[in-house]
Amino acid sequence: MVGAAAVNGLNNFQVGFSSVFPTAGSAVDRNSYPLCGTQSIGVYLGAEVIVYCAPSTQQYRYVIIQSLDTSPESLCIAEAGVEG
């Protein structure tokens, strides 16, 4: 389970996993890692989003939370947690 609490609205993002840390200063390709889930509806101030991932026997070291938008606006997350 991955949860993200919104600071100022959060929508159009995806959650995935990786065992490789991305190179500093380089963008992570949205199609380069296994996808856990997406959130496309708006989340408003003070709301919480929980994305449940299907159980997997594969182990990963990093969780990637990435915007699906191609606009230059940033994805703002107050808190993210992983259980499992």
pTM over the 0.75 mark: no
- Give me the DSSP letters along 1-60: -EEEEESS-B-SEEEEEESSPPPTT-PPPTTSS-EEEEE-S-B-TT-EEEEPPPP-S---
20-70 tens-digit pLDDT:
887 887 778 888 888 887 776 666 666 777 777 877 788 888 888 887 776
Structure confidence at residue 74 (pLDDT): 65
pLDDT classification of 5: cutoffs 50, 70, 90: very low
